[in-house]
Amino acid sequence: MSSSSVSTHYKITRPNAVAVGTIVWLSSELMFFAALFAIYFTTRGVQGPAIWFESNKILNIPFAAINTTVLVLSSVTCQFGVFAAERFQNRKSGKIYQINKWGMREWFALTFLMGSFFVAGQIYEYASLVHEGLTLSSTAYGSIFFVATGFHGLHVTGGLIAFLIVIIRVSKARRFTSAQATTAIVVSYYWHFVDVVWIALFSAIYLIK
C-alpha cells in the first residue's frame, strides 16, 4: 500500500473535531429523548394501564410497522453511501440499475427518499388520529404521543436537510475530498441515531401494552 493511500485513509478514520462534536451533541440529544421516555412511562403509570390501553387501541400498528421498516432500511442504504464515500466514489460508475456500482450520491438520494416516505407516513398517521379524536390537547396520552413522535419527526427532517446539503455540495465540487467523506460519515452518525431512537419509541408506544 502506498504512503498516499495510507495518509488518505488516516484522514478519514482518525478522530475528527466535527465527528467528535457530533457524537457529544448526539449524547445530549439522547438525554433529551430519555426525558421523553421518562415522561411517557410516568404518565402511563399515573393513569393506569387500562386507560392507556384504551387510548392505544386507535393506533394503526401495521401501518406504523411498515413505516418503521422503511426507516430502518434507510440506515442500511445510508451505510452503503458511507462505504462509497470511504472509497472516494461520489457517483455511480455504471448504469443506474447497477446498484453494485452506485456511489455516495445515489445511496444518499435513496436514503433521502426513504426518510421522506417515513415523514409523509407520520403526517398521514397524525391526520388519521386527529380524525379519530386524538389530538395534542385531548388527553395526556395524546399530548405525550404527539410530543415524543413529533420531536423525533423534526429530527428526521433535520437529517433529510443534511442529506440534501451533502448531495448538493458534492455535485457542485470539482473533486471528492476527504473532508467531504468525513461530512458524509458524520451525517450517517446522526441518521443512525434517529433510527435507533425511533425503534425505541415504536417499541414503547406501539408494542408495549
What is the structure's pLDDT at 3? 42
* Local confidence band at 19 (pLDDT 50, 70, 90 cut-offs): low
What mean pLDDT do residues 178-202 have?
92
HEC states along 115-135?
HHHHHHHHHHHHHHHHHCCCC
30-59 confidence digits (pLDDT tens): 888 888 888 888 888 877 667 677 777 889
Q: What is d(CA 82, CA 187) in angstroms, rounded to the nearest whole number?
A: 9
What is the structure's pLDDT at 26? 75
What is the structure's pLDDT at 9? 45
Q: What is d(CA 143, CA 162) in angstroms, rounded to the nearest whole number?
A: 29
Q: What is d(CA 130, CA 139) in angstroms, rounded to the nearest whole number?
A: 12
For the chain, the structural domain boundaries read 3-207
**Do residues 2 and 106 touch, judged by C-beta distance below 8 A?**
no
| pLDDT over 80 at 7, yes or no | no
What is the structure's pLDDT at 177? 83
Q: What integer best gives the mean pLDDT of the chain?
A: 85
What is the structure's pLDDT at 18? 62
| pLDDT over 50 at 10, yes or no | no
User: Grid coordinates representing 73?
Assistant: 432500511
94 to each of 54, 81, 91, 174, how far by Cα in Å?
53, 16, 9, 20
Please work out, in degrees rounded to the nearest 5, the angle formed at the alpha carbon of residue 91 by the alpha carbons of 88 and 93. 95
By three-state DSSP, how is residue 24 classified?
Answer: helix
* Local confidence band at 29 (pLDDT 50, 70, 90 cut-offs): confident
58-83 confidence digits (pLDDT tens): 899 999 999 999 999 999 999 999 99
Nearest to 187 by CA among 168, 149, 160, 207: 160
- Who's near 207: CB < 8 A, 6+ residues apart? 61
For the domain with range 3-207, which CATH number is right: 3.90.1570.10, 2.60.40.420, 1.20.120.80, 2.102.10.10? 1.20.120.80
DSSP annotation of 57 reads T
